[in-house]
Structure 1
């Protein structure tokens, strides 16, 4: 077998392991996930998992990093710089909401990491770099909005990002209890459309210059 073929096979195996691990960790968390189940899903053996990743903890860290990088990379590809500031921010809010809906495993992985007090993210330089890049992009968008006269000055980019994430994240992580407490199905197409409209209105009212 050629060296190129070996590398290609190794990359394919690692990818299968990562995909299988993402499903297992998203479903059961770090504590409940089983390496045997990951190996079976990936059509690999446990020896290969430990060979490529070292331990279940390190595999979880790799999956978590990949999950964060996926959303950060997707945000960078939105081409927000080419849009007027208001349109760009609305586009970002819509994207965040849609991403959470299409990637529920991202939310459950983040929940799991919070249970462990972010001990894996603390060791991740790649996440720190990607997050700084995103905050810088958000700050650039806000500064552009101020210059265009549509956003009020002094808005903290990190705080705004937290708010955009929170109004979607909370709704979806609490959809089951919320359905009981508020006596309405929070996940019908109409309810999701109504929620997105509310999110957009909330964020735009928060940043607009005419709200001063």
Structure 2
């Protein structure tokens, strides 16, 4: 599983090769197929294990959306390999791959929390729940990834406490985003 996670994290689903996974796991490709019927099934198993092993469990609660974004920020900083795997999932997981997968249930719970928060008047109902969830996740990702290297592009060094500043900025952006207009 470790070799498969490394492979999927490095190359994504489409670029991952079972031959490399088997070689790095010191196993045969046939041995992999004795446990997993397909590359898709192995990918699903890697994702399920990654979720199970996540350094922090980050539920989205309507009354603490900034806490969700800050917790997700912490997850990304603590597990950059997992964050990269998440991006590959978003980019290229085949349609229908995650039928009754734990990942579907996790995201469905987050969408349900947003909808409940909108009904309760805690979260601005003008937002489409799916769009809002994507924005919240991307706020955490972009701030945890140091603005995608903008500091290097413009040649300005971040302040010494920039991780804490970026975390606080992400949480504040989430607070402002979900508030009523």
For the criterion TM > 0.5, the same-fold answer is yes
Show the counterpart of 1:124: 98
Show the counterpart of 1:63: 46
List gaps (5 residues or longer) in structure 2.
Answer: none
Contact 1:65–1:124 (8 Å) recurs in 2 = no
> Per-residue displacement from partner, 1:73-124 (whole Å, max 9, x unpaired)?
9234x7x48xxx2xx22221111111111222233223334553x31x5222
Q: Does 1:159 align with 2:131?
A: yes
Contact 1:89–1:141 (8 Å) recurs in 2 = no
Alpha-carbon shift at residue 51 of structure 1 (Å) = 0.9
Show the counterpart of 1:180: 152
Matches within 5 A, 1:1-212: 18-67=1-50, 74-76=57-59, 80=61, 85=63, 88-116=64-92, 118-119=93-94, 121-125=95-99, 126=101, 127-144=103-120, 146=121, 151-171=123-143, 172=145, 175-176=148-149, 178-185=150-157, 190-209=161-180, 212=181
Greater RCO, 1 or 2 (C-alpha within 8 Å, sep 6+): 2
For normalisation by structure 1, the TM-score amounts to: 0.66
User: Between Structure 1 and Structure 2, whose CA radius of gyration is higher?
Assistant: 1
List gaps (5 residues or longer) in structure 1.
Answer: 1-17
